[in-house]
Structure 1
Amino acid sequence: MTKINIVNHTHWDREWYFSTMDALLLSDQVFEDVLIELEENIDARFCLDGQASIIEDYLSIRPERLPQIKKLVEEGRLLIGPWYTQTDAQLVCGESILRNLSIGIHETNKIGKHMEVGYLPDTFGFNAQMPTILRNCNIDNIIFWRGINLDKHVKSPYFKWKGLGNEEVYAANLIDGYGSIPRLFTNEEFLNNKLFKLADKIKSMTDLDEILIPIGNDQVEITCNIKNKIDEINKISDDEYVQSTYLDFIDYIRKNSEKLERYEGEFREPKTGRIHKTIGSVRYDIKKMNFDMEQSLLKRVEPLYAIAESLGIKISKNLITTAWKKIMEGQAHDGMAGCITDDVANDVLYRMKQAREIVDGIENLVKKRIAEGLKLSKDEILVFNTLPYKYDGFKVVEFLSSTKDKFVADVEKCTVLDIHEYEGKENILIEAPEGNYFINEDGYYKITALIKTTLPSMGYKVFKLSEGKVDIIENSNNLEIKNDNYKIFVENEKLCVELKDGRKIEDFITFENCGNDGDTYDFSPLRGDSNITFRIVEGIRKASEGIEKLELSGRVLLPKDLESRLDRNELKPLDIKLIISLLKDDELINCRIIVDNNILSHRLRACIKSDILSNESIASIPFGYIKRPILNGKIGDWNSSYLEIPIDIEVFEGTVSITDDKNTLSIYSKGIKEYQVIEDRMYLTLLSTTSQLGKPNLLYRPGRASGDTTKQGHVMIATPNAEQLGKNEFEFSISLLEESFNENKVEKRYEKVNSQNIFYQLQGLNKFINRLDNKIQNSRTKLDLKREYSLLEFDKNICISSISASLKDNAILLRMKNCSNEELIVDRYDFNKFKRWEIVNAIEEVQDNSKLVIDPYNIITIKLYF
């Protein structure tokens, strides 16, 4: 006899082909029924989908229910949290996943207690470091559905999942998904054809004496009188059915851990459920804005908040939490993947815009307060370094001047990259105590400059602006740029690169285009279509002593839509700019691509060629790197085994490399999330556009449409905004060096790629250069600040994950990461500006470890008290 744990739940997409407001309305009905049933049946228990945000939303319309919810949570009959939203696990950065969990736990614990289960029932596959993330939030388990292959990864749905390092969690896979039994009935036909059949299937896969079956589905109501129904089922079943919770079942697995298999790796195979392997490039605008917001919070605003707090500048840290929540609402698996309607996509982008306004406002306030405390003149500029070690390198700054001949003094090098003129204006209102009057305003200039300088760790420095002869970047028609590591040039209508050792690679960067017959879930080729490859090789050179650029542009005629692909009868222009820059002595080739898209339903990829042949790619994932086999696009027979093609198009957090142990090509992306390696070429997907939410019978995904569009009573849903028409910008850097792959080197280069240009000038020429300068009033607290300041410092060889405000105390959390397979010891640090510090986990629980040692592929969090 097997014990079958029945868990009553609902799965709650906040938005999909319906909006968050639609879901809020539905929660008023479904959640009300849940509370009524739990009150009327004291034995009933219910899981509210593992996310705190839907409770927050519900309480915003039913605040009177809070005492009842607290009581039910305390009794263990209503299980909430631990996530804030049902996060994507591949397209957001590892720090975002950690914050989703830590903020979700923090908010849930305000109500009572969080469900200590890493519950992600519908996420489209999982990175290999989920065990590490969960354990850092004191959760030792995960319950999930998609991505597993029980013919390959493990034999049983119940096992131990090990991260890349030493962390491990208990794992339970939901065979056939969270919605395999949407509602519980007791009639014979249902039991024999549905419930008993599923139970027998799961029993055949495990030697354990207990199995798990969830009852529920998308926005489905609570099963009423569940105890009576289970009693009826037990009268005719040979097994024992019991009402249970996910916690109860995890406890059982934990007690039987010696019987469990162990797996290490990711879950990205479309075997038991679709995982949409090519969804990493759909709705690029959402993915790019999410990346930008992650960087703004992690690399700019949170460190600036810490600096401000140390100087006595007070800002509510709840503003930062609010910004994170706005972003996390869009990081749920549907929203971040992009398989949503246009209306919902607009909602996601709007919430990210709100987050952008919050973080920009905080940055504006901090910079202005510090500038006022320094009593800056208009001929001074404040430059920040938010990395916790001294910075020596290039920064881009902007300042306003009444003359063109201004430069940053007291730096090693200053090159003017651009001068923008603002014309003078007449009848300018001056508001003065003695009365209002009008003047004519002279014109002025915004000057963008590249400076080579040093900056203090985690702090700022003031530089003077001087008048005189300015070094200006100059144009020429000689299409060749170089530094100590690379020479990049156009030869015979091809873009070429010559490396330090003399090796030459032709067609270094090209572009590939084809039709996309897929939808917002998956790219799929158009039957009978063929790829179009083209080059961008015309343009100008811009150069000075510190920087050299190639600015190339071109226009290619492409079939305007799917209907034109096969006979090529109607063509439209696609305009592309490719800007390549080299800094002096730098190891990176910096690329910026601007695409003015007029083409419908197509895929556009950038191809970076090397002379490296390898059997595997090495992609970054949260707090580590994973090796994947290179299949060169050759998949073999898959239709009988998979629900979609298991194509070797993969996602990456930020970097991807190939190496032959002598030479290594690495890509460092700023928002691009999808790649494929074919022989010696790395393909980065720039655009994968479509006009439909979900389509049936795709070449890469046969059968039903994803997105419910071909369900009975449903309709096809057009998504014209997913065509990404208009201007789209992409940024990445390349290193192609004579070296073997080294995780720490690649991670440090990526940290450099994402280092921020943060500066401020206290000026009156334009009060909208910084959006809130016109509205931020003088502070009552007068500061007397030093011209140079450093908050903290530690070993430059250690990589930083985040520097954020504590959710609990007047403290900051400094999180360091080790993305390598060797232990790292932090033996050089300066925390003297803090009262005390201690090692905690990601939810601020004090840890026993008193030494600053970072385990392989792991993180360590230090709590520093002001």
Structure 2
Amino acid sequence: MEGDRDMSRTKVHVIPHTHWDREWYFTTSRSKVYLVKHVKEVLDALETKDGFKYYLLDAQGSLLDDYIKWCPEDEERIRRLVTDKRLMTGPWYTQTDQLVISGESIVRNLYYGMETAQKYGHAMKVGYVPDAFGQSAQMPQIYQEFGIRHFLFWRGVADNTNPKTEFLWKGSDGSQVYAVQMPFGYYYGGNIPEEPGELEAYLDSQIGALEAKASTRHVYFPNGFDQAPIRLNLPELIRTFNELDPEREYVMNEPERFLAEIEKDSKGLPVLEGELMEAKHMRIHKSIFSTRADLKQQNNEIENLIVNTLEPVLSISHALGHEYPHQIVKDIWKLLFENAAHDSIGGCNSDTTNRDVAFRYKQARDIAENLLELHKRWIASRIKQEETFAFTIFNTLPYPRKGVTEIDAYLPEGGFVVRDTNGQQLPYTITEKVEQTDYVLGQHIDLNPSKKVYLPERVFRAKLLVELQEVPAMGYTQIVFDFSSTGDAIAERSNGSCIENEFYAVAVQDNGALRITDKISGRVYADQMVFEENGDDGDSYNYSPPERDLTVSSLGADVETITSKSPVAEELSLRMKLKVPHDLNERAAAVTSAMLPLQASVSLRKGERLIRFSVKVDNRVLSHRLRVLFDTGIASRLSIADQPFGVIARPTTLEEVKVWEREQWTEKPITIEAMQSYAALNDGSRGVAVLTEGVREYEIIGPDHDTIALTLFRTFGFMGKENLLYRPGRASGEKIVETPDAQLLGELSFTFALHVHESGFDEADIAQAAKEYLTPLSSYQLSDFLNGRLIFAFRDEERIFEQSYSLLSFGEDSSVVLSAFKKAEHSEGYIVRVFNPYLDKNATARITFGKSARYELASLDERSKGEALASSDADGAQLPELEHCKLLTVLVTPESK
């Protein structure tokens, strides 16, 4: 009978921890200095304090790396405690956001986080996410791929969806994890009183609230705050709990053991599906996607550069005999991980902290671009060539590509033609040309004065658009600039207002908007590319409209236009000025004393089914938002956007809007949503998609929910504000912290594209179009006159490579999208990661490596699953069919000779 009574008692698992933001309103430097003090106290307590069994160090391995860098003498102490599963760390490297960073960034964060934790002895197999602003629908699949079956979190689930704290979370692909919510936050048990009279009432209230939401006898009682010191007398307090409250059992524990116990006692749990983005009880800051648009852009561009171009080129270079620079790539990723932490990427920081974020982006970009340049040069310098002006073109997608691409070049004076390796002349046009003779030739170095080197009399830095023929899959080819012949590279400029290619005709309407004609179907889309400016009374966490707003549209604005036309591309340039309020006070009074100058470039490339846009804004006003609108004419209940490793359909209206004020939600439910690279509307027979490499935020607006609104930027003046229309009550963050940098005064630039199609969404292959848009062909110019300080001197290499090369290819019937191609971290193989991009169709591919190889299925941690794919030297391997939102990793290992 005694055992029965014990099993019926509530078991309170007291979890000592800290939530350690690496930066926020304070800087990383301050955080690291205090981290040293904190970790030393934790180590001492775990080693010497009787009854202090466990401590959770916020599940981010970077904290141990930070500590060991300054206190290397404690490495063995840490290794002992982590190995004994008393000091808990991992699986993350940093506590990452899940919605505005890329899927590959999430995967690498977990990979390097678990690697770091295992280096010290143990990686916690719990998806511990105490403070991220919402949970991506693809996380169950990602967790499962890393061997993580348990999920412990706070934000994103309300009691109207699940009144209990335990449930099964089902992701977009069908994967499930066992989930436990910390319903009142990770800091819920941080403020324990120590007076016996107060303590008894505290336990009854605090634990009683947890019991009411629990579906088993187990409750999770976290003891800790942000950057708070360890509660050294916690073991004594737990003994006191048991004395004062004999009806409950109190134990010190850590997440892995807690989850193992509670799962055993769980029965008949509800299943929650998809994104966890409800803000009824806790704020999720749903419009943080566009906070500090300048920093978001840098993140997105660097992520795309690393995954889409750098890692594939490094893999090609490795296959050709060069060492793969694993440690350098890891350092680039770790710079991004520091910025991927939920506050850092959120931009909800002080200005001084955001300057640190910006500097890390600069470092990451500089290293990535120079590493890429070195390996492209390494390859180009060993290709068999005699030409002075040979350009090596790299294709980092697994199928041949052709079409118009942009190339940077240093050119002498005079005309020329461009030829491919077959001698075929390629059309081109020069879009920019600036003389840099003294700069370039003044840095030339003659390593071997006996070698005759061509030195032009004049040198121009130029940008060209060249129409390429086939560039091999995941490989390279060459083109040559032949100055012995003369081609016509002059674009015709005029004050026109219309451009076209094979697919589209674009014209400026009288009201300043665009009229786009789909030449294949004859369908006309009027009133496109409308800029909409309105006030932003929000802060670094939330967009929120002012109580008295004034919306300014570019419709009706005076527009100046210029066209530039060549055989390979046509461009339409528009200039306009919007008369807008200078600040929120003027907006409330409907005064428009300021100008917002806009320059928009709309371009059509030969043979390309994209309309490309480039927008520059001279931002001179305060606290406002600018979006660009595309009216699709497709009334929609659902929007379509990409999420990590897949696609997601979201409602364009929310029923919760009717009740949120009455039910006192912490935030207004809104349909401002995140994406990875595109947002689309489709009615089953036609559709429109907006592709972006900038801010990953959109909303479907209009009375019929038929207009895609792409956020370009929003600005604000304070880290936190109180009583917003979209977020009542207290300020998030610190309301005293002003953020003048977040007003983004000065010139801002944005690029995006439009894809119009007469088909269902799956048939339009939007994900592939977005991948190509974000993966431009890359080039390298090998010319002796450039050898010197400009790019560092390079000695002559033995020329042994052919002029064309392909390492990896997918078959013509392949329908997956490539997510990553890289050298495996700890084996001789290469990692090929793909996913199903469709709403309803399955996807597959046949992959062929450039040499005889073994093909095995692998998990996201790059370990073989022990399942080899049928393969042959000639035909490669057929991938299994992938269902909706499924990802797949293949380890391709070349056979040794």
Fold agreement, TM-score > 0.5: yes
Q: Determine the C-alpha separation between the residues in 2 that align with 1:257 and 1:744.
A: 44
Secondary structure of the structure 1 residue equivalent to 2:184: coil
Match of 2:625, as an amino acid? R
Conservation of the 8 A alpha-carbon contact between 1:620 and 1:654: yes
Q: Determine the C-alpha separation between the residues in 1 that align with 2:436 and 2:692.
A: 37
Deviation at residue 834 of structure 1 after TM alignment: 5.6
User: How high is the TM-score relative to the length of structure 2?
Assistant: 0.91
Deviation at residue 698 of structure 1 after TM alignment: 1.4
Residue pairs, 1:714-863, within 5 angstroms: 716-742=736-762, 745-766=765-786, 774-775=791-792, 777-778=794-795, 782=798, 784-795=800-811, 796-820=814-838, 824=842, 826=844, 828-833=846-851, 835-851=853-869, 852-853=879-880, 854-863=882-891
Provide the residue aligned with 2:517 in structure 1: 498
Change over 3 Å in CA distance of 1:148–1:390 after alignment to 2? same
Provide the residue aligned with 1:332 in structure 2: 341
Provide the residue aligned with 1:712 in structure 2: none
Provide the residue aligned with 2:433 in structure 1: 420
Structure 1 residue 32 and structure 2 residue 58: aligned? no
Greater shift in the superposed pair: 415-424 or 318-327: 415-424
In structure 1, which of residues 361, 367, 372 is the aligned counterpart of residue 381 of structure 2?
372
Residue pairs, 1:33-432, within 5 angstroms: 33-41=41-49, 43=51, 44-152=53-161, 154-188=162-196, 190-192=198-200, 194-237=202-245, 238-374=247-383, 376=385, 377-410=387-420, 413-422=426-435, 424-425=437-438, 428=442
Provide the residue aligned with 1:587 in structure 2: 609
Q: Determine the C-alpha separation between the residues in 1 that align with 2:656 and 2:16.
A: 43
Match of 1:685, as an amino acid? T
Greater shift in the superposed pair: 4-13 or 310-319: 310-319
Cα deviations across residues 229-281 of structure 1 (Å, max 9, x unaligned)?
21210112221111111101221243245431111111112112111111111
Match of 1:856, as an amino acid? H
Cα deviations across residues 634-667 of structure 1 (Å, max 9, x unaligned)?
9334223310111221111211111222221211
Conservation of the 8 A alpha-carbon contact between 1:424 and 1:440: no
In structure 2, which of residues 603, 628, 636 is the aligned counterpart of residue 614 of structure 1?
636
Provide the residue aligned with 2:666 in structure 1: 643
Conservation of the 8 A alpha-carbon contact between 2:715 and 2:744: yes
Deviation at residue 822 of structure 1 after TM alignment: 6.0
Conservation of the 8 A alpha-carbon contact between 1:186 and 1:232: no
Provide the residue aligned with 2:585 in structure 1: 563
Cα deviations across residues 485-541 of structure 1 (Å, max 9, x unaligned)?
322112323421223433333211111111111111111111212211114642111
Change over 3 Å in CA distance of 1:645–1:776 after alignment to 2? farther
Conservation of the 8 A alpha-carbon contact between 1:283 and 1:722: yes
Cα deviations across residues 65-108 of structure 1 (Å, max 9, x unaligned)?
10000000111110011101000010001111011001111121
Secondary structure of the structure 2 residue equivalent to 1:200: helix
Match of 1:784, as an amino acid? I
Deviation at residue 841 of structure 1 after TM alignment: 0.5
Q: Determine the C-alpha separation between the residues in 2 that align with 1:455 and 1:856.
A: 31
Deviation at residue 744 of structure 1 after TM alignment: 7.2
Change over 3 Å in CA distance of 1:46–1:743 after alignment to 2? farther
Conservation of the 8 A alpha-carbon contact between 1:621 and 1:652: yes
Conservation of the 8 A alpha-carbon contact between 1:185 and 1:229: no
Provide the residue aligned with 2:690 in structure 1: 667
Deviation at residue 128 of structure 1 after TM alignment: 0.8
Conservation of the 8 A alpha-carbon contact between 1:7 and 1:215: yes
Cα deviations across residues 367-389 of structure 1 (Å, max 9, x unaligned)?
11112111543221110001122
Match of 1:451, as an amino acid? E
Conservation of the 8 A alpha-carbon contact between 2:445 and 2:793: no
Q: CA RMSD in A?
A: 2.4
Conservation of the 8 A alpha-carbon contact between 2:636 and 2:683: yes
Greater shift in the superposed pair: 279-288 or 783-792: 783-792
Aligned residues: 853
Match of 2:571, as an amino acid? K
Secondary structure of the structure 2 residue equivalent to 1:291: helix
Cα deviations across residues 457-491 of structure 1 (Å, max 9, x unaligned)?
11110112123122432212221122333221123
Conservation of the 8 A alpha-carbon contact between 2:403 and 2:608: no
Q: Which runs of 5+ in 1 are unaligned?
A: 710-715
Greater shift in the superposed pair: 339-348 or 143-152: 143-152
Q: Determine the C-alpha separation between the residues in 2 that align with 1:100 and 1:525.
A: 35
Structure 1 residue 532 and structure 2 residue 552: aligned? yes
Change over 3 Å in CA distance of 1:637–1:257 after alignment to 2? closer
Provide the residue aligned with 1:656 in structure 2: 679
Deviation at residue 819 of structure 1 after TM alignment: 2.6
Match of 1:442, as an amino acid? E
Conservation of the 8 A alpha-carbon contact between 1:593 and 1:730: yes
Deviation at residue 765 of structure 1 after TM alignment: 4.6
Deviation at residue 790 of structure 1 after TM alignment: 0.9
Provide the residue aligned with 2:714 in structure 1: 688
Provide the residue aligned with 2:535 in structure 1: 515
Deviation at residue 783 of structure 1 after TM alignment: 5.4
Change over 3 Å in CA distance of 1:36–1:463 after alignment to 2? same
User: How high is the TM-score relative to the length of structure 1?
Assistant: 0.94
Percentage of matched positions with identical amino acids: 31
In structure 1, which of residues 573, 587, 592 is the aligned counterpart of residue 595 of structure 2?
573
Match of 1:459, as an amino acid? G
Match of 2:510, as an amino acid? N
Q: Determine the C-alpha separation between the residues in 2 that align with 1:293 and 1:193.
A: 53
